[in-house]
Amino acid sequence: MRFIKPDINIDFIGKKKIAFALSFAFVAISILSLIFHGGPRLGIDFAGGTLVQVKFKTPVQIDVIKTGINTIGLENSSVQQFGQETDNEFLIRTEISYGSGEGFSSDLNNALQESTGNEVEIRRVEMVGPQVGKDLREKALFAIFYALLFITIYISGRFELKWILSGVVAAALIGAVYLFDLFNVSIPFLIGAALLVTLVVFWFLELKYAMGAIVALMHDVIITIGIFSIFDKEFTLPIIAALLTIVGYSLNDTIIVFDRIRENLKKFHKKPLDFVVNRSINETLSRTILTSLTTLVVVVTLFVLGGGIIHDFAFALIVGILAGTYSSIYVASPILLAWQGRGKKK
């Protein structure tokens, strides 16, 4: 199936400065939002606490629910609508880990029935201790960091045949992160610093394909997290799964374009690099758009019809797919041109 003419020639590279400015603006807004909110709003998976999902037979007001839970010591809890308004379902969150025993559920049920005069069903109770939440948070950050690092090894080996060099760099970075972790350095700061060092090292070692890929992936992850921060959505374990899915999806798009660039560098070896990159993006454009559209149809369907449980997961995938498609065209490939100017200076 091809709905884009095979001889299409859109000047993507000519618009790279505008694209870089747009990407910088999105990333800056995302980082500023995270700073303003003090980081992403962590769910109980990472922050610890208790989450209760309740369903009422008839509509009730949130204030009435809060009045009922205050009587059993849940004064600092938050209550929000869950799913459609007609479902009459609510999520109750508290920072204290109460446990999911029958005693707690029974007390909560009685308090809510008494305050609302409504039949109530406790559909689920989830509890995570603060230490467990901290461990999960750190492991999630390490999972994203290691995924990005191993991807760069693969990219460097496949496109530049620098398996050993990239492997040594990755091993050194992993060792440094592990060493500093033993001294109880803040994990978010440690991972951020390690990624910046990675970019600097790749620049000096001229691992241009790996650098293009990792910058594009960081671009997608930061924007997705930033959108969650802007809309004040919770950051939970399913969102980590969504981020890792986004990394894999975006990387697949980037590799397709990189493969075509490598082929065209041999085919058009007398042409300038910007011509080769632009032609390669145009030649893979039909495949990129078709893949993105078909994936988006499925994810949007999940977002609309999947219910409250999977709503945020699908939302993260929608944002990530759009950002990943954009970065494969306007971020990863144009970064290769940075070495063209560097080579001329040398």
pLDDT one-digit tens code per residue, 47-58: 778 888 899 988
Topology given in CATH for the domain delimited by 13-43+132-345: Multidrug efflux transporter AcrB transmembrane fold (1.20.1640)
Q: Is the pLDDT score of 4 beyond 90?
A: no
List the domain boundaries for the chain: 13-43+132-345, 49-128
3 pLDDT band, cuts 50/70/90, is low
Q: Residue 343: pLDDT above 60?
A: no
pLDDT in tens, 258-289: 999 989 988 888 888 888 899 999 998 888 88
Q: pLDDT averaged over the chain?
A: 85
Cβ neighbours of residue 50 closer than 8 Å, sequence gap 6 or more:
44, 93, 94, 96, 97, 98, 99, 125, 126, 127
Query: At residue 291, does pLDDT exceed 80?
Result: yes
- The answer on pLDDT for 78 being more than 70 is yes
- C-beta of residue 50 within 8 angstroms of C-beta of residue 125: yes
Would you tell me the crossing angle of helices 285-305 and 237-267 to the nearest 10 degrees?
A: 170
Contact 99, 127 (CB under 8 A): yes
CA angle 292, 308, 226 (to 5 degrees): 55
CATH of domain 49-128: 3.30.70.3400
Cα separation values, 240 from 41, 104, 341, Å: 13, 30, 37
pTM metric for this prediction: 0.84
Average pLDDT over residues 183-206: 81
Higher pLDDT, 185 or 89: 89
Q: Contact at 8 Å (CB) between 19 and 330?
A: yes
Q: Three-class SS string for the chain?
A: CCCCCCCCCCCCHHHHHHHHHHHHHHHHHHHHHHHHCCCCEECHHHHCEEEEEEEECCCCCHHHHHHHHHCCCCCCCEEEEECCHHHCEEEEEECCCCCCCHHHHHHHHHHHHHHHCCCEEEEEEEEECHHHHHHHHHHHHHHHHHHHHHHHHHHHHHHHCCHHHHHHHHHHHHHHHHHHHHCCCCHHHHHHHHHHHHHHHHHHHCCHHHHHHHHHHHHHHHHHHHHHHHCCCEECHHHHHHHHHHHHHHHHHHHHHHHHHHHHHHHCCCCCHHHHHHHHHHHCHHHHHHHHHHHHHHHHHHHHHCCHHHHHHHHHHHHHHHHHHHHHHHHHHHHCCHHHHHHHHC
**pLDDT at 320 (0 to 100):** 93
Q: Does residue 300 register a pLDDT over 90?
A: yes
User: Which pLDDT score, from 0 to 100, does residue 70 have?
Assistant: 83
pLDDT value of residue 129: 74
User: CA torsion sign, 177 to 179 to 182 to 184?
Assistant: negative
Is the pLDDT assigned to residue 232 strictly greater than 80?
yes
- What average pLDDT score do residues 164-189 get? 82
Selected residue with higher pLDDT from 129 and 220? 220
Q: Note whether 13-43+132-345 and 49-128 share their fold.
A: no
